[in-house]
Amino acid sequence: MKKTFALLACGTPWLGALLLAATARAAVQPAPTAGLDPKFNAYLEQHCYDCHDSTTQKGDFRMDTLSPKIGFENTPQWLEIMERINSGEMPPKKVKVRPTAEESGAVVDFIAARMKEGEAARMAMRPPVSYNRLTRDEYVNTVRDLLGVQFDATDPGAFLEDPEWHGFERIGSVLTLSPSNVEKYLSAAETILSEAYPEIPPLRKGAKPPEPFGGSKPAYLAEQVNERHRERLQEMGVLEKLPYEIWPGDIFRYSLLKDPLPETGIYEISYTISGLKPEKGRAPRIKVYESKLDRTLFEQDIVAPEDHPVTVTFRAHLPKGRPTIEVYNDVPGPSNLPRSGRHGSRPFVSLKDGRMPWQIKLTDEQGRPRYPFLILHSISWRGPIITDQERQLREDYRPKTEGDLAEAREALRKLATRAFRRPVREEELDGFVSIVEAELKAGEKFPSAMKAGTAAILCSKSFIFVAEGDPTVMRQTLNDWEIASRLSYLLWSTMPDAELFTLAEAGQLHDKAELARQVARMLADPRAQRFTDAFSSQWLRLRKVGMFPPDKMIYPDYDKQLEACMTGETRAFFHEVLMGGYTLREFLDSKWTMANSRLAEYYGLPAEGLPSDGFQRVALTPESHRGGLLTQAAILSLTSDGTRHRPVHRGVWVMESIFGKSPPPPPANVEPIATNPVTAPKATLRMKLEAHIHDASCAACHAKIDPLGLAFENYDAIGRWRTTEKTEGTGADPSVNPSGKFPDGRTYQDAAEFKKLLLADLDAFNRTFTEKLATYALRRTVSFDDRDQLKAIAAAGKTADYRVKDILTALVTSDLFQKR
């Protein structure tokens, strides 16, 4: 009884009447779910046990015997209870005493939180050895650093996308290995080794070695010219150097040289090209696409006069033979399908020479371009390109003497040590050598036998998985080799380099001062871009951008290039905050962003002098209505459905990404908000949302979520600023209302005031960011057992004024980072 009155005295949000009722009931019979939170148990006592206890089991459902370990035991039953309460189905409407929506909402929140804790704890469980499969990108980077081979894991038939958990794509317990995955790894090993060690047929007696592949060609070959035009073009002196005009949306298919590509590998391709930009239009954009691989090789805006073309050069990994390469002018413009837009039989020579009378004109009477179009002059090729470093890597794993098994063993040892990221055991090495011996006995030549042993290493679980732990003894901390891998895959998404291997061998990676030095060194390396891209994308759920392509009729300016600019801004922004020594405050609000010319025009910012593809820091003014992550177009569009903005989804995103809390699932079969009838007065989505939430239990949950999303009503489904909402119906477009009220009573009038409220509670964001960073770094969910160490890291970040780089360093130098 004393405990009950103490709870009442402390001002608990749960109604005292419930506790008193539970106490009176407990005097008659013991609480059947002893061990549960008394506030939660009080609800069950008053509203559930009358129908679902030992004497009355309506629906054959009994609650008094359920385990109090919610999230760990009786999970299906507790989930059903949560869903029935959440939907308003239980307690039934016919009972006389019903709980308030707030009370039921608190119960749902309580069960949902316990379920999340249980899920996190299960996923964080660690057997003697934890195996964390390399992600698709990590596999590609590791193969490149191990063998100097660029494996294209995203090509058709290669690896599937990595599954994700709450946005994170490197959680060990989620990255499982199915039989189909095993076959893909076998195929990948064969592909990689075929490129690293191609079978070169012996030259016939007297034959000359093949010439290096490469050469140049004009855009339009003389043999492609209609015969009736050849003499005229020959007299003009242009037959052997004809250009090719590429209209918006047009395709050029003649990039290849006469000879096929001799081997799979990296090829350097150059296009000499002009790009004519209308005075008030888009710049033309070259996009080089390999259709068989469904892969964009290169794209860039081109602005260059006809008589002063530029040469753009890039490298691409291409298969042996004749790839299917298409060059697009990837901008909107007039269709080239009608007769007036087609090229015709008369080749293009120059703007001065013009086009046929029936064709669409390229320029106006003053010679200014009417549309954004490209003039392709020539193409050149070179390859396959193998650097000295790549060549040396491959030679490291080849015996110097043909048939020498002792040398073969040492070559395999060197490969396995690097591939496994630890010293290889002799018994492991015996197995790989025995494969070579078996192949030789079967009649295979020595290089093929070595390739079989090498393939076995690439298919070993010690390569495919980052292993942590010891099968012979249960230990909770990492050894130096494991720390080297954890650090390298955190910051570089690849295997450790020679310096990390040396430090691991010397046992120096438990030294926190050394770890801090390594963080500084590795962040200064260009490979750290992989961390800033991957972590920002996973933390902020950038994969969802474009998941629901915006309706072209409603958003005609939206295209894949703009989408790439949106996500590029967010990744570049994170990179700048980290590398520039800025604090968490910048994520919530800033007076600058990262933009290119296309994004600047989209935001209404000055675009002059900005790059067309890279990103540059630009200052923001209050009139731009931008600043921080929350008002970036990528974040605003990923929470939309392609037609309308979704304030509830925006609120959920803020709750999860900024506050680190997941709302309970919505009730089943909730009707979506209908579009506005054309005959009804126009109404904003907010108005319809407020009218839609008629159920009290729904309203209780929305009261927590909606204020986090309604602050951004001034931004439409693709993140454009607006003051009115375009909608169907009669009358004028209604004004948007970006004001809101937090459950604790704090209010805001717009997104700017909302961000100030977030800044006032920076410690909450600091805790969330620390947890997100730890989840990414440890490759597992964080659990209740990690709470004290997470608090210590967050405290270190606060001491460093919330600088992101210092929070990252505090994590790496913490005891948690060395914990399995």
Place of tokens 């069950």: 44
Q: What is the mean pLDDT of the chain?
A: 87
CB atoms within 10 A of CB 639: 24
Q: Could you tell me which of 784, 582, 628, 602 has the C-alpha nearest to residue 69?
A: 784
Tokens representing residue 793 in the block: 């890291």
pLDDT band at residue 22 under the 50/70/90 scheme: very low
Mean pLDDT of 725-747: 87
User: What is the rounded CA–CA span in Å between residue 428 and residue 765?
Assistant: 47
For 276, other C-beta atoms within 10 Å of its C-beta total: 24
Angle at the Cα of 657 (from 651 to 663), degrees rounded to 5? 55
Question: What is the average pLDDT across 7-35?
Answer: 35
Helix axis angle for 696-709 and 101-124, nearest 10°, is 60
Tell me the two tokens of residue 383. 């390859």
Q: CA separation (Å) from 81 to 42, 331, 600?
A: 15, 54, 50
> Could you give the CA distance from residue 750 to residue 710 in angstroms, rounded to a whole number?
9
* Cβ-contact 248, 334 below 8 angstroms: yes
Q: What's the CA dihedral at 801, 806, 811, 815 to 10 degrees?
A: -80
pLDDT (0 to 100) of residue 8: 26
CB atoms within 10 A of CB 434: 12
Please report the beta strands in 71-187, taking only residues with DSSP state E, as ranges in sequence order. Answer: 129-133
Which secondary structure element, helix H or strand E, spans residue 562, and what is its range? helix 560-579
Q: Which residues sit opposite 617 in a β-bridge? A: 594
Two structure tokens written together for 586: 């910048």
Neighbouring CB atoms inside 10 A of 609's CB total: 9
379 contacts 311 by C-beta, under 8 angstroms: no
CA 203/CA 134 separation, integer angstroms: 41
Q: Residue 631's pLDDT is what?
A: 97
Give me the pLDDT at residue 680, please: 72
Query: Given pLDDT bands bounded at 50, 70 and 90, which one contains residue 26?
Result: very low
Segment 67-98, tens digit of pLDDT:
888 878 887 788 778 877 877 777 877 787 88
Q: Which amino acid is at 393?
A: L
> Do residues 166 and 119 make contact, with C-beta atoms less than 8 angstroms apart?
no
pLDDT of 786 above 60: yes
Average pLDDT over residues 129-139: 93
DSSP-derived letter for residue 715 is: B
Distant-in-sequence, close-in-space partners of 731: CB < 8 Å, separation ≥ 6: 681, 682
The mean-pLDDT minimum among 262-271, 311-320, 473-482 falls in 473-482
* Whether this model's pTM surpasses 0.95: no
Place of tokens 């996973």: 538
- Kindly give, in sequence order, each residue whose CB lies less than 8 Å from that of residue 639, ignoring residues fewer than 6 positions away: 645, 646, 649, 650, 652, 653, 709
Instruction: Give, as one character, the DSSP assignment of residue 222.
Output: G
CA–CA separation, 625 and 60 (whole Å): 57
Does residue 12 surpass a pLDDT of 70? no
Q: Is the pLDDT of residue 642 over 50?
A: yes
**Over 50: is that where the pLDDT of 25 sits?**
no
* 599, 563 contact by CB (below 8 A): no
Contact 636, 645 (CB under 8 A): yes
Gap between the Cα atoms of 231 and 244, Å rounded: 19
Q: What is the pLDDT of residue 81?
A: 82
Gyration radius of the chain's alpha carbons: 32
Split at pLDDT 50, 70, 90, the class of 205 is low
Torsion of CA 77, 79, 80, 84, to 10 degrees: 140
pLDDT given for residue 582 in this prediction: 98
Cα distances from 453 to residues 264, 309, 340, 457, 499, in angstroms, run 22, 51, 62, 7, 27
Question: What's the token pair of residue 78?
Answer: 């507790």
Query: What span, in angstroms and rounded, lies between the C-alpha atoms of 810 and 57?
Result: 54
Is pLDDT at 237 greater than 60 in this prediction? yes
Is the pLDDT at 467 greater than 80? The verdict is: yes
Mean pLDDT computed over 321-330 = 95
Q: How many CA atoms lie less than 13 Å away from 293 in the CB half-sphere?
A: 22
Residues in the chain: 820
Handedness of CA 357, 359, 365, 368 (dihedral sign): negative
- Asked if residue 784 lies in contact with residue 772, where contact means CB atoms within 8 angstroms, the answer is no
Residue 603 has pLDDT above 90, yes or no: yes
Query: For 132-161, what is the mean pLDDT?
Result: 94
Number of CB atoms found within 10 A of residue 560's CB: 13
Which residues make Cβ contacts (< 8 Å) with residue 2, sequence separation at least 6? Answer: none
String of DSSP letters for 304-331:
B-TTS-EEEEEEEEE-SB---EEEEE-S
C-alpha to C-alpha distance for 820 and 817, rounded to whole angstroms: 8
Segments of 771-811 assigned E as strands: none
**Burial of 319 per CB tally in 10 Å (0-12, 13-18, 19+):** middle
Find, among 251, 257, 516, the residue nearest to 383 by Cα.
257
pLDDT band at 202 (very low <50, low <70, confident <90, very high): low
Helix (H, G, I), strand (E, B) or coil at 605: coil
Determine the Cα–Cα distance for residues 266 and 382; give it in Å rounded to an integer.
9
Cβ 163 vs Cβ 506: under 8 Å: no
Would you call 288 helix, strand, or coil by DSSP?
strand
- Of 791, 797, 686, 126, the C-alpha closest to 816 is 791
**3-class DSSP state of 442:** coil
- Roughly how many angstroms between the first and final C-alpha of the chain, as a whole number? 44
* DSSP 8-state assignment for residue 816: G
Which of the four pLDDT bands, split at 50, 70 and 90, describes residue 5? very low
pLDDT band at 673 (very low <50, low <70, confident <90, very high): low
Please tell me the distance from the alpha carbon of residue 331 to that of residue 354, in angstroms, as a whole number.
22
Helix (H, G, I), strand (E, B) or coil at 392: helix
Here the tokens at position 360 are 């669409």
Q: What is the three-class DSSP state of 90?
A: coil
> What are 258-261's contacts with CB under 8 Å, separation 24+?
259/213, 260/320, 260/321, 260/322, 261/213, 261/318, 261/319, 261/320, 261/321, 261/322, 261/323, 261/383, 261/384
* Separation CA 407–CA 808 (nearest Å): 43
Q: Is the pLDDT reported for residue 34 higher than 50?
A: no
pLDDT band at 13 (very low <50, low <70, confident <90, very high): very low
Measured distance CA(709)–CA(626) in Å, rounded: 16
